Amino acid sequence: MEINSFIKQFEDTIADLPPDSIRPETDFKNLQQWDSLAMLSLLAKLDSEYNVTLTAEELNSCNNVMELYELVESKTQ
């Protein structure tokens, strides 16, 4: 897995996110589109796409997309 494909998956999962609007340093929890539905959609996508199950607490512990990527990557190995 690489960060650019992870970001593309992230953008495709969150409704109304413009393409190429996310960077590794983006604090996704401060996005206008971030809400409980976005969180559940992302958790479901991580499970189906990467076979990684995260808790809401684990997701909330990430401060940006890069930290989320690193967490997911650590659980795929």
pLDDT tens digits for 6-47?
999 999 999 999 989 999 999 999 999 999 999 999 999 999
**Other beta carbons within 10 Å of 40:** 11
**Other beta carbons within 10 Å of 22:** 19
Q: Are 6 and 72 in contact (CB under 8 A)?
A: yes
CATH assignment, 3-75: 1.10.1200.10
pLDDT of residue 77: 76
Number of H helices, E strands in the chain: 4, 0
